[in-house]
Chains A and B, each alone.
Chain A
């Protein structure tokens, strides 16, 4: 968590400085406050869900299906879970942090996050409505294997 604080603080300073040079620093802080307040109720709900999940989900089962000893299973089930979890980044990442972060391997974590973004089932209705079935087919045919492959590559290179 300390590394996250350092990196984010640096980013904040840099971006604030760029904004300051353009005379928009005050505006950007107001924007940050606005975003924070509009996200806060969602975050509160997310944290309560996360709290319950923490208590309810059996640690051993999680370990067996997604942990280091799960082997290739983690690279298959991780993306499936990722693709099924609904909600934007402010709901997904806190949940990931509380439930999966400690358990999963680097590869499974990357596969899960990638799947949540790329092949999220919650995007399907929008894709069908605005872009049509042919696009949905093309997109998902290309993307389907990517999360597991990135996970495999991550385990291979950095695991």
Chain B
């Protein structure tokens, strides 16, 4: 972001010169103070507060959707899917799984490691991570709320086939990669277990 911001600077007037230095909030606060004194800092908070108030009703609805989806996708269900040796069912199951598994990168990358060790093909995992990062269902409410129905739908249509295609291509063209990556993951797992990393990796 910073690199692009410094490009923007060239085209902007001198008042904007302090923009490119960081993306942390205190820094922006400082920038505002530097440029416009207290009124501008207040303006930043005010603009933020105003945006929040505008979308507040929408947010409540979005969270009702997110909450009810998460109670429908039970842990047992996910576990059953994971226990079923997803690897042999191919990219299609990987895609479905990726679209439904909740949690951030600190959760799903370890999960992928577990799946790879227990026999999943790399192509299936490529499908999984594509679906997870492209259109995880739990993200859709918040995307609709802020980006709008039109762009969300267009994005979904255009990217619809990507996870399955990418995964199938890897399984077809690079069959040897599964074994190689699996041994790398096993090595990393062994290291991780020595330093006692989280329970999420346990089967």
Interface residues of A (CB under 8 A from B): 1, 3-5, 7-9, 11-12, 15-16, 18-19, 22, 24-25, 27-36, 39, 43-45, 47-58, 60-62, 64-65, 77, 80-81, 84-86, 88-90, 93-94, 96-98, 101, 106, 109-110, 113-114, 117-118, 120, 122-123, 126-127, 129-135, 138-139, 142-143, 146, 150, 153-154, 157-158
A43, B23: Cα distance in complex, Å: 16
Question: Are A3 and B149 in contact (CB-based, < 8 A)?
Answer: yes
Beyond the given pairs A8-B141, A47-B52, 4 more chain A to chain B contacts, judged by CB atoms under 8 angstroms and listed by A's residue number, are: A11-B65, A35-B66, A61-B8, A114-B134
Q: Which residues of A contact B44 (CB under 8 A)?
A: 48, 51-52, 54-55
B45: CB under 8 A from chain A?
A: yes
Question: Are B146 and A139 in contact (CB-based, < 8 A)?
Answer: no
Select the stretch in B75-83, B84-92, B154-162 that faces chain A: B154-162
Question: Are B188 and A132 in contact (CB-based, < 8 A)?
Answer: yes
Q: Quick one: which of B9-55 are within 8 Å of A by CB?
A: 9, 11-13, 16, 19, 23, 25, 28-29, 31-32, 35, 40, 43-52, 55
Closest to B148 in A: A4
Q: From residue B103, how far is it (CB to closest CB) to chain A in Å?
A: 10
Interface of A is mostly: helix
Interface residues of B (CB under 8 A from A): 1-4, 7-9, 11-13, 16, 19, 23, 25, 28-29, 31-32, 35, 40, 43-52, 55, 57-72, 104-106, 109-110, 112-113, 116, 122, 125-126, 129-130, 133-134, 139, 141-151, 154-155, 158-159, 162, 166, 169-170, 174, 177, 180-181, 184-185, 187-188, 192
Contact of B28 (CB < 8 Å), options: A1, A52, A157 = A52
Q: Which residues of B contact A12 (CB under 8 A)?
A: 61, 64-65, 68
Question: Are B63 and A32 in contact (CB-based, < 8 A)?
Answer: yes
Question: Are A134 and B180 in contact (CB-based, < 8 A)?
Answer: yes
Closest to A27 in B: B71
